[in-house]
Structure 1
């Protein structure tokens, strides 16, 4: 084989054992599963060179697969982008900017970059072991998967985005908005039917979301030139550096929801590792994919209880470095760039045509913005907003089912002898019927419930940011741990969401339960006694997270020979 055929990244390497050939790399476009004789693999020693199994069973050992091009592995971040468009990017942030001006833009881009680090750290365990993040949490404590399952249902249990997309569709095609429940039910049925398009469920979702994202991003770019809001771009630089500024009387629930939804947020982010497993990133290629029992002809691909890890040879560590590089590139180029483009365009439009609005996001678009722009621009806005809401509902249903099935199966179903594929299909059908029932009864979700759901998403991110930081620095060996720059970024993420979570918890205790003793101030000083206790709790979480992760980094230093082969920028 020609040496150049192995260099699919276009760079220079001194080994043909790092990068996959073009033909092998292209297999990742359809996801990759390598069926191995799992039981014949040797157990990983419980030494510093391998991940700490903690409260779970031992890992198996195999080689890290060769590395494809970044263009071959695009997928998980496209689904995450789809989940984001109808929440923060076209709903929360355009509304926040319309109501409060560009002074809040700093929080948006900081939130997006923060989520870049969070999401890629959520993938790290999966790339290194093939296990989902929920299996990793279970190794730490069986409490955590159950906690996230309950919180995830509170976050995503209401099909608000399908209802919103239906209202936009009804208005866009000129029929009575009272017909939206029929459209909403049709959309939920359409989502369910799409899962029947092939045997590998993940592949179906990826293709659908990539197509929707291409249309949404292209539409957003065209809108810049049609609606006449380009002048608003001049206000962005000042808002982008207006760090820490918050308007007076800012609704902290709305703001925290915006922070959580500067990206997908909450329970959805936790899907990043599960989607990486389904795609076949790194060691996840040895784990089976979830198949549709109605389409797969009874075929089974095993998702092993304990993951597969790699021996820290020089070649494997170079492959790890290359895998980590392309996974970061995939997330940045797809998720971060996509969010910044679509959301910023949406903000310029609402700042131009709905400044000072006092209504909810969907009503703002339908009654203020679209009538103001009219014509072709208005029609295109209907399309983009509909796609944003529909793609989000699509991704939410997928994310909720994917995460919840993984938790239920690992925590109970595996030991009970359940069929993973049938569990997935059953919960998919049940959650779809749940959504249809709510829409059919016309139980419209008030804006305040959407706000609280988003706020819960933000509060969820506080503990799992801390857990992931500790997990990746104390359970992974030196050569697969995050570098110090990333550890500091995760410290920031934990503190960032912890700070605003305390403000939200305090706001709810005071406003809803009249417990003034828990009142807090943004500057901390001047808080009530109970408020100071909340700040002490946040400080304790932050100090513990920083101490444990720093301790893990220091204790693992120089414990693996030639570990520097696996390190690099933003390792």
Structure 2
């Protein structure tokens, strides 16, 4: 953990590389500080204010940025953290619940949608980090610069996504069955898990560091258990079906539950409100310009506060800073790909093989599938290991959900109201953490609904909210970042795809819900079909809205990208097709 007052690290020697890299890379010793998190305090008021020119980010409706050098770059192994938390959030959602169930019910022909969803979320998540890496601000602050409406919209949607403690309930069901209490006796365990999560936040002075260490430990345990399981449980033969399913593009069973499928797409990764935490975690870790923003400390430990500034930072596009940006972007992508993408592909594919081997054609929800169909077919050793993997995955997801909801919502509430009201940021964090924990305990105690239904509702909302924030993110990153910080054309196209991908299935979901007697609704006029043709009149209106959003997103971002070209000298030093 670093609290240096240096703004650029020019006293740092080369990292064992060529002499020309001495201004770009950190030494091993200094880079290792990122294994915790790094904060560099600066004389904020004494820094030069960035002018409103093409070389610097646009302030839009927010305040001006301060200029400081981009810090030197550590090795990728020193940066592992934000993506590990994201992976922990994913393990108990799509990876061990939605996708194994979808494959068990519909076969391996859907596997294409899983890996496409994972790679799509790789681009989404790294684009959500771009603004933080470039300015130190969270993505919510970027959205606020567009309109004050958007952060509050995502807070409300995030509550409906994560406000139902289905993962805590699901993990508690698994643990109750594992220890012989019976899955129906999960309520007490669910309450205890929420209390345990709350207490863990008091374990250290820096909230982020505690969360990261716990999530990394849970992630390692789940991945190791899953890898061992596939070799001893007898499901490895199912891997032969993966290649055909991986290239079965566009195949969708007609009678498939679109809410479950959209949830699976959202949870081919963490999904929804959780993805929006990626930039906030990157700021807490100290990525790029985020190293100059303060971290949230535990107010009960008496730690000195670190100021999180309302307006962030930017850097002058000198040759040195452009080379640093290029390398920062490279290691941030590597950290996310090697931790998040590879981890998801391994764990989820293993879980799918087990579900396909032992529960093909099941009509159960995911948790019931594991507890009443799969595990009873196993011997004691395999059952024990599968119980352990499932419980760790579900608990790690609930832990990350509490962390994500509280951290995102505190950022929105503090910047939208609390800062001007004079509130103390760490106390706001602890207060919302306590309220959200008590809310979860109350829902569990009331046994409001069975865990699987809660998960389906939350997952569908997660997928739907990804449609607008994908569009907003690529518009923001092209219209408000200067040429050298903008995404390359390959990434712009990837985000166009992401916007259309989630928009298409969101329209299908809305139409399906509005014309579904199970929900007490029957409006054939709102029906939406997979092929668009044959939709109801209201369904065609929904498809028209989808088309308008897609065209607007592509026009705004593409036009901004073209207009920025040639505005910054030597921008090619930091740009590229996938920059």
- Which band: TM-score by shorter chain? over 0.9
Match of 1:489 among 486, 494, 503: 494
Asked if 1:435 corresponds to 2:443, the answer is no
**1:518 matched residue in structure 2:** 526
**For residue 418 of structure 1, what is the aligned residue in structure 2?**
423
Local SS of the residue matching 2:60: coil
Q: What is residue 373 of structure 1 aligned with on the other side?
A: 378
Distance 1:449 1:268 in 2: 16
Query: What's 1:550 paired with?
Result: 558
SS of match in other structure, 1:131: coil
2:195 to 176, 189, 194: 189
The residue aligned with 1:505 is: 510
Q: How far apart are 1:32 and its partner, in Å? A: 0.4
CA deviation after TM superposition for structure 1 residue 344, in Å: 0.2
Kindly indicate whether residue 571 of structure 2 is the aligned counterpart of residue 563 of structure 1: yes
Evaluate the alpha carbon distance shift between residue 399 and residue 127 of structure 1 in structure 2; reply closer, same or farther with a 3 A threshold: same
Give the deviation of 1:374 after TM superposition.
Answer: 2.2
Following TM superposition, by how much is the alpha carbon of 1:274 offset from its aligned partner in structure 2, in angstroms? 0.3
Work out the CA distance in 2 between the residues paired with 1:381 and 1:286. 43
Q: Which has the higher mean CA deviation after the structures are superposed, 165-174 or 87-96?
A: 165-174
Deviates further, 448-457 or 36-45: 448-457
* Pairing 1:447–2:457 present: no
d(CA) in 1 for partners of 2:550, 2:23 = 41
Residues paired across the two proteins, number: 568
Asked if 1:267 is matched to 2:270, the reply is no
> Residues 521-557 of structure 1, C-alpha deviation per residue, up to 9 Å, x if partnerless?
2111122211111111001000000000011101100
TM-score, normalised with respect to structure 1: 0.98
Partner of 1:122: 128
* Residue aligning to 2:97: 91
Query: What is aligned with 1:52?
Result: 58
Asked whether the equivalents of residues 166 and 183 of structure 1 are also in contact (C-alpha less than 8 Å), the reply is yes
Task: Tell me how far apart the structure 2 counterparts of residues 183 and 253 of structure 1 sit (CA, whole Å).
Answer: 28
> What is the aligned partner in structure 2 of residue 341 from structure 1?
346
**Structure 2: distance between partners of 1:413 and 1:444:** 34
Q: Is the 8 A contact 1:128 1:283 kept in 2?
A: yes
Partners of 2:303 and 2:191 lie apart in 1 by 30
Aligned with 1:237 (options 229, 238, 243): 243
**2:14 equivalent among 6, 22, 27:** 6
Could you tell me which of 394, 401, 404 is aligned with 1:396? 401
Q: Does the 8 A contact of 1:5 with 1:22 survive in 2?
A: no
**Cα distance, 1:451–1:245 mapped onto 2, change above 3 Å:** same
C-alpha spacing 1:380/1:446, structure 2 compared with 1 (3 Å): closer
Secondary structure of the corresponding residue to residue 305 of structure 1 = coil
Deviation at 1:465, TM superposition (A): 0.2
Q: Secondary structure at the match of 2:314?
A: strand
For the 8 Å contact 1:321–1:568, the answer to whether it is kept is no
How far apart, in 2, do the equivalents of 1:440 and 1:148 lie? Answer: 27
Q: For residues 513 and 184 of structure 2, what CA distance do their matches in structure 1 show?
A: 33
CA contact (8 A) 2:144 2:151 kept: yes
1:447 is displaced (CA, Å) by 2.6
Q: CA deviation at 1:12?
A: 5.2
Report the secondary structure of 1:36's partner residue: coil
Q: Which stretch of structure 1 is more off in the superposition, 198-207 or 297-306?
A: 297-306
Q: How does 1:56-67 map onto structure 2 within 5 Å?
A: 56-67=62-73
Contact 1:31 1:278 in 2 (8 A): yes
Q: Is the 8 A contact 1:6 1:22 kept in 2?
A: no
CA distance in 2, matches of 1:363, 1:541: 39
Listed as ranges, the matches of 1:63-74 within 5 Å are 63-74=69-80
Q: Paired residue for 2:85?
A: 79
2:4 corresponding residue in structure 1: none
Return the alpha-carbon distance in structure 2 between the equivalents of residues 30 and 498 of structure 1: 38
For 2:271 and 2:319, the matched residues in 1 are separated by 37
User: Retained in 1: the 8 A contact 2:84–2:216?
Assistant: yes
> For residues 412 and 463 of structure 1, what CA distance do their matches in structure 2 show?
23
Could you tell me which residue of structure 2 aligns to residue 309 of structure 1? Answer: 314
Partners of 1:270 and 1:373 lie apart in 2 by 39
- The match for 2:41 is 35
Counterparts of 1:171 and 1:515 in 2: how far apart (Å)? 41
Residues in 1 aligned to 2:513 and 2:161: alpha-carbon distance in whole angstroms: 16
Q: Choose from 531, 536, 552 the match for 1:528.
A: 536
CA distance in 2, matches of 1:166, 1:456: 23
**Is 2:272 the partner of 1:285?**
no
State which of 460, 479, 482 in structure 2 corresponds to 1:477: 482
| Contact persistence 2:140–2:412 (CA under 8 A) | yes
The Cα shift of 1:567 comes to 1.9
Candidates 243, 248, 259, aligned match of 1:253: 259
* Distance in structure 2 (CA, Å) of the matches to 1:552 and 1:255: 34
**CA displacement, residues 20-39 of structure 1 (integer Å, 9 cap, x when unaligned):** 11111011111000010101
Q: Does 1:132 align with 2:133?
A: no
Structure 1 residue 5: Cα displacement: 5.9
Alpha-carbon distance in structure 2 between the residues aligned to 1:376 and 1:176 = 19
What is the root-mean-square deviation in Å for CA atoms of aligned residues? 1.5
Q: Is the 8 A contact 2:85 2:212 kept in 1?
A: yes
Where 1:83 maps in the other structure, the secondary structure is: helix
Instruction: Provide the C-alpha distance between the structure 2 equivalents of 1:153 and 1:480, rounded to a whole number of angstroms.
Output: 32
Give the C-alpha shift of residue 403 in structure 1: 0.3
Q: Report the alpha carbon displacement of residue 170 of structure 1 after superposing the two structures with TM.
A: 1.1
